[in-house]
Amino acid sequence: MKNIAVIGAGTMGNGIAHTFAQNDYNVQLIDISQDSLDKGMATITKNLDRMVAKEKISEDDKKRTLDNITTHTKTETGVKNADLVVEAATENLDLKLKIFKDLDSLCGENTILASNTSSISITQIAAATSRPEKVIGMHFMNPVPIMKLVEIIKGYSTSADTYNTVEELSKKLNKVPVEVNDYPGFVANRILMPMINEAIETLYNGVAGVQEIDTVMKLGMAHPMGPLQLADFIGLDVCLSILEVMHDGFKNPKYAPCPLLVNMVRAGKMGIKSGEGFYDYTESRKAETVSSQFTK
């Protein structure tokens, strides 16, 4: 297994492409937008430059990694010879179902189809294909080149051969694969998102401010990043999508997203990627807390 296709050049997609390429896999990075591909490659180059500066890799390693990546705006050309396709598109069920239906018709019969979804059912995604035994979840953590964990999610029909292949592949990437069953949010987000949501509720109810909440969790619970800053880093729209998937899947009100989170996403405050979330990331006010205009 040497030919890897990655669907989506955003934060997770370019990180996944970077990781495979750095480990000497031939990577086809696919996105319908050339601008997204250009930004994705710029991010990979920037991250490699940082690694060179820290003497973690050499200039030759950087060049080899970049040479291992080819970009495409047409899915059919990018997945033509893929042994594995990793989908890293937006966390939207309808979009993922369409992508997997298309991949099923475009890829060879032995190609494994993986999703980097952080919450959506692998069983449901697999049902859009004629090869559910070859569909699996590979949930990488952000930032992908650094974080060791990969949640490997088996759908109802995922075969043992598919699981074993992906598990071994993850180890070759110097990752730690963890087997997880197919339930909304899996393990990481089923535990993380309610904590983030509760932190937002705490702000919404006026218990404490943004910095105060994050400071309590960093100093009191030894978290490297406070939950509100982490939400900004993940993307508030992504947090909202995951909570909605869990709320819909479990029918349990404890997963209902906080109204403050809903309003912030509606207002376009997505976190780092939009320049503002619970903190302001513009150059003039970098990482300052934003006024609590949406709180009670």
In the set 36, 68, 115, 118, the catalytic residue is 118
| 96 annotated among ligand-binding-site residues | yes
Structure tokens at 7: 């669907």
Indicate the Cα dihedral angle 158, 137, 121, 231, nearest 10°. 170
| 91 annotated among ligand-binding-site residues | yes
In the set 18, 47, 121, 151, the catalytic residue is 151
| 11 annotated among ligand-binding-site residues | yes
Query: Which single residue is written with the structure tokens 């239906």?
Result: 101
Q: For residues 229 and 211, what is the distance between their CA atoms, to the nearest angstrom? A: 9
Q: For residues 209 and 215, what is the distance between their CA atoms, to the nearest angstrom? A: 10
Establish whether 189 is a catalytic residue. Answer: yes
Establish whether 55 is a catalytic residue. Answer: no
Establish whether 151 is a catalytic residue. Answer: yes
| 94 annotated among ligand-binding-site residues | no
Q: Give residues with Cβ within 8 angstroms of 46, minimum separation 6.
A: none
| 31 annotated among ligand-binding-site residues | yes
In the set 68, 119, 139, 170, the catalytic residue is 139
| 104 annotated among ligand-binding-site residues | no
In the set 36, 189, 197, 241, the catalytic residue is 189
Establish whether 118 is a catalytic residue. Answer: yes
Q: For residues 279 and 294, what is the distance between their CA atoms, to the nearest angstrom? A: 13
Question: Residue type at 109?
Answer: E
| 2 annotated among ligand-binding-site residues | no
| 80 annotated among ligand-binding-site residues | no
| 33 annotated among ligand-binding-site residues | no
CB 109 within 8 A of CB 129: no
| 13 annotated among ligand-binding-site residues | yes
Catalytic residues: 118, 139, 151, 189
Binding-site residues for NAD(+), in ranges, read 8-13, 31, 91, 96, 118, 142, 273
Binding-site residues, in ranges, read 8-13, 31, 91, 96, 118, 142, 273
